[in-house]
Amino acid sequence: MPIIIKTKDEIAVMQQAGRIVATVLEMLKLQLRPGMKTAELDVIAAREVVRLKAKPSFKGYHGYPATLCVSVNDEIVHGIPGERVLREGDVASLDFGAIFRGFQGDAAITVGVGTINAEAQRLLAACEGALQAGITAARPGVKLGAISAAVQNYAEYRGYSVVREYTGHGIGRQMHEEPQVPNYGRPEEGPELKEGMTLAIEPMLNIGDWRTKIGRDRWTVSTLDGSLSAHFEHTIAITDGEAKVLTAL
Ligand code: MF3
Ligand code: CO
């Protein structure tokens, strides 16, 4: 499959999908508190996406059983919401996707449950900063590797490792399109970025090393060494100037 270039009109629809995703994540962030079960967040996401006249992307995707992914502490991505109770000091990554008028939006945030310690706060800030560094590097005429290298340099300079087995991705009518968007690499690698490309950039940063394991539920990805992990994601469009963040409010 080639990289699919979108028209300005298609990007405008993707921005509507993206705003819905951002709205749901903001709502979840406001509602999240210690004592809550992760399944309660899934219920909120499922209700809000319908209210906003969109459909959830993840439910049923390769058999994924929920609307939202909630990955807690050493969990990196693809945590299935359930009976787990969030505790003061936990960090929870919330990953959500929606389909509006045939186009996808995909974004993730990591939030503290109540008050979190300084080590966790620094990890979250570094992960969000790494995402922003990747977005800033994304402009027409550079290689895709410019994004990857910007994310990796930002993260590793601050002492964190970047997960290698999972990547960002092209996005459009499908949640996952070409190309893969790794969070590590060299600026001269990969295809050239062109106006109209739409990408999900999603760094996953660990305090320990980058190796991962998959849980008994066959979905939940955790750090192999048990260290804390964070995940931030935006869907962006390559424009003639700075990249446009589609999953912003
Ligand atoms: N943001 C994740 C991704 O881009 C969401 C996929 S979760 C799944 O891969 F459950 F849908 F697989
Ligand atoms: Co994604």
Q: Work out the average pLDDT over 125-141.
A: 98
Q: What is the pLDDT of residue 144?
A: 98
Predicted confidence at residue 212, as pLDDT, reads 98
Domain assignment present for 1: no
- Domain assignment present for residue 162? The answer is yes
- What's the mean pLDDT in 124-140? 98
Does the residue 215 lie in any domain? Answer: yes
pLDDT at 39 over 90: yes
In this predicted structure, what is the pLDDT of residue 141? 97
* Overall pTM > 0.95: yes
Distance 177 CA to ligand 2 centre (A): 10
Q: What is the average per-residue pLDDT within 148-167?
A: 98
Question: Average pLDDT for residues 164-181, to the nearest whole number?
Answer: 98
Mutate to test the pocket of ligand 1, among 78, 180, 214, 220 (most ligand atoms within 8 A of CB): 78
Strand pairing partners for 223? 212
Q: What is the DSSP string of the chain?
A: -PPPPPPHHHHHHHHHHHHHHHHHHHHHHHH--TT-BHHHHHHHHHHHHHHTT-EESSTTGGG---SEEEEETTEEE-PPP-SPBP-TT-EEEEEEEEEETTEEEEEEEEEESSS--HHHHHHHHHHHHHHHHHHHH--TTSBTHHHHHHHHHHHHHTT-EE-SSS-EEE-SSSSSEEEEE-SS--TT-SPBP-TT-EEEE--EEESS-S-EEE-TTS--EEETT---EEE-BEEEE--SSSPEESS--
pLDDT value at position 154? 98
Q: How far apart are CA 198 and CA 247, in angstroms?
A: 12
Digit-coded pLDDT (tens) for 70-109: 999 999 999 999 999 999 999 999 999 999 999 999 999 9
Confidence of residue 1 (pLDDT cuts 50, 70, 90): confident
Question: What integer pLDDT is reported at residue 94 of this predicted model?
Answer: 99
Query: Does residue 44's CB lie within 6 angstroms of at least one atom of ligand 1?
Result: no
Of all residues in the chain, what percent carry a pLDDT higher than 70? 100
Residue 40 lies in a domain: yes
CA of 107 from ligand 1 middle (Å) equals 10
Number of domains in the chain: 1
- pLDDT tens, 175-203? 999 999 999 999 999 999 999 999 999 99
Banded model confidence at residue 63, pLDDT cuts 50, 70, 90: very high
Q: Is 177 part of a structural domain of the chain?
A: yes
pLDDT for res 51: 98
CATH code where residue 115 lies: 3.90.230.10
Mean pLDDT of 140-163: 98
115 confidence band (pLDDT: 50, 70, 90): very high
Q: What pLDDT sits at residue 163?
A: 98
- Establish if 43 belongs to a structural domain: yes
Residue 125: domain span = 8-245
Mean pLDDT, rounded, for 107-116:
98
CB within 5 A of ion ligand 2: which residues?
106, 200
C-beta of 96 in contact with ligand 1 (< 6 A): no
